[in-house]
Amino acid sequence: MNWNEKVVLVTGGTGSFGKKFIEIMQNEYHPAKLIVFSRDELKQHEMRTSGFDHPSLRYFIGDVRDVQRLRRAMHGVDVVIHAAALKQVPACEYNPMEAIKTNILGSGNVIDAALDAGVQKVMALSTDKAVSPVNLYGTTKLAAEKLFVQSNAYAAGTNTRFSCVRYGNVVGSRGSVVPLFIKQRANGKLTVTDLRMTRFWLTLEQGVRFVIHCTELMQGGEVFVPKIPSTRIVDLASVIAPQAELEVIGIRPGEKLHELLINEDEARSTLERPEMFVVTPTATLWQRDLKYEGSPLPDGFRYASDTNPQWLSVEQIRQFVAPFEESNLQEV
């Protein structure tokens, strides 16, 4: 795939993922044009004035809830990375219809606009919270996954293809526990919801590079899941503030003790590769000769943060946290 010949649009382009994606694209892949699609003019202005001002960049104000605006933005676009979402679990619980409008209906709009514009590849970002969801955010992302996978049926006779990437917590992203712990450290007390809690972790750069790699690989219909390490929240807390007291405040509404990236039922249609798992569509309404590469998983397999064979060591946690420690020092 020759990125330097492609016009690429990223929804939610001013978010944590969007900025890192555009940075890596500009520095390493040099696409013909990069379009930042987002609804906040202030964030676009701040992004442009902070150095994202390359001649190949375009800033397009719009909301994924507005399908006509998406159609206009996707004119002449080859690749869409769909990163726009309402992602804060408590906010989605309190504002359920807003989460549905953005995460589900907005995803449907992205699909419709991409089909109408003849976009070649559409990659949507999902989350471990979409697997056996217990909160509205996860439920909306599960619905979005189903929309993107099955929308390959609507692309019959065209070159448009839809796939998803699903991964765990991104260190230091908006709402992440890492900046919270660093902030709380000054008071000598860190709030932890449950001492047993585990999570999948990866860096923002790892997430972006995985999305780029899977966009190159995708045939349409796959959900790509990276093999990433787990960590215990108490281990994270002890690295950030070893002398601090831990205050257990209880699990919040919609929160799990442990996260899943693949459940037992999904595993039956999942293939394993050295660096990832590929969840293939169980039933397709489109007729294409697709041969997904990989080895089948054993019966009863589940990819969970508490039984993950790969765990971050204390030193690895320090390396994950280090950039946010430096950022905190600069702010002070």
From the candidates 20, 87, 121, 129, give the one annotated as an active-site residue. 129
Quickly tell me which residue has 């009863």 as its tokens: 300
Dihedrals phi, psi of 161, to nearest 5 degrees = -135, 145
Dihedrals phi, psi of 63, to nearest 5 degrees = -120, 140
Tokens found for residue 174: 């908006």
Taken as a whole, the chain contains a residue count of: 332
Quickly tell me which residue has 């991964």 as its tokens: 167
Who's near 16: CB < 8 A, 6+ residues apart? 170, 172, 173, 174, 204
189 catalytic residue (yes or no): no
Give the gyration radius of the chain's Cα atoms: 20
Helices and strands (H, E) in the chain, number of each type:
12, 17
Dihedrals phi, psi of 191, to nearest 5 degrees = -90, 125
Catalytic residues: 129
